[in-house]
Structures are given as C-alpha cells and as structure tokens.
Amino acid sequence: MLFECPYCKAKCQFSKLVNQCYCQSDNSYQQAWVCSNCNGVIVSRFTREQDIRDAQIFPLVKIKPKIKTDKLPDNIRNDYLESLENYSNGCYTSSVIMSRRVIQQSCIEKGAKKENLFGQIEELKIDDNLKKLAHKLRYWGNKGAHPDILLGEKIEEKDAKVAIDFTEKFLQYVYVIPKEIEEIEGEVEEKIE
C-alpha cells in the first residue's frame, strides 16, 4: 500500500504491521503500517463506508517553518507556529486566523496605528510588491469589509496554504532579513575595532 510517509517525506510502500483494530468510539478501523523506506510507523483510520485510500493518516503530515523562527519576536513566533500546527491538524480556518494575527501583531509592533488590517499594511514601510501581494489576498485585502474573524468565509486547505506562504514572505522581509543584516553589521564592526 502506498502512503505519503510523514517521516521520510516521500510516497512509500507500507506493509501491514498487525491486524486492524475496530474502535467503538466512532465505529472506525485502525491499521498500523511500517514504511519500507525508513521503518517509520503510521496508523490509518477509516470507517466502513470509506475507501482505505481515503483513510486519515497519523501522525498528520506537518509542514515545517520555512523561515528562521529564532529571528522573530516571541509572540509573533508563537502565533506563526500555531498557524502551522492548525494547518497540519486540518483546522484551516483557525490557521488563517492565526496567520492574520501574525501579520496584524507585526504591523502593530512596527508602529501601525490604523484600525483595520488593510490600513495597517498600507501604513507599514514595506516593499511595494509585498504590499501589492497583501492586498490581492482576500484575507488581507478586504478593506475591512469583513470582520476580523472571517465570518461568512469558507476556508479550505489551499486558502490556509496561501495565507501561510504570504505570512512567511512577510516575516522574512520584516524580521528575518533585517535581523540577519544587523548581525552581519555587528560582526563587521567587531573586526574593524
């Protein structure tokens, strides 16, 4: 049986470990499998009506941070990591809300004063291309038409992924690169002195 392996991150052949178990809590079946490539163990969970290929796989495939999180302020790092965790757990609405919170906290931390996120991004001294991109994304470019909690929006996996991709670009530009430049400057000065 082929599954996406959460450990070695490839589509791998898995062999059954033991007989499947029936779980009475939700009438599901659980089956343990071992990856032929890395020996990692996963569990698939499915109901009688479900095709085994549509089974939920645990551990859920996590997405890892694409930026250096040690360069972020604590509160922003925590919210960013929470958005990734929500995404991995299939909680896409929560993930987008956390991504928005990351952007908004960053704007406030950088001195934005406007009421809504659209205005705050506009106020920020950031790259024009990044601003343009922010306003194109419906979750940030809504001119405050929607309340911050995204009522009335149906959020799917791809929406949450787009939100995370943008958030990473934003954080990279606003925090990571300036921090790295600061560190390089520090090293250069040390050598000169």
Site of interaction with Zn ion (CB under 5 A): 5, 7-8, 12, 35, 37-38, 40
In the complex with Zn ion, the residue whose CB is nearer, 1 or 184, is 1
CB of 52 to Zn ion, least distance (A): 19
* Residue type (1 letter), 102: V
CB of 42 to Zn ion, least distance (A): 9
In the complex with Zn ion, the residue whose CB is nearer, 88 or 116, is 88
CB of 5 to Zn ion, least distance (A): 3
In the complex with Zn ion, the residue whose CB is nearer, 9 or 66, is 9
CB of 14 to Zn ion, least distance (A): 8
- Which has the closest alpha carbon to 130: 107, 148, 161? 107
- Which has the closest alpha carbon to 65: 175, 171, 147? 171
CB of 32 to Zn ion, least distance (A): 14
In the complex with Zn ion, the residue whose CB is nearer, 2 or 151, is 2
In the complex with Zn ion, the residue whose CB is nearer, 5 or 98, is 5
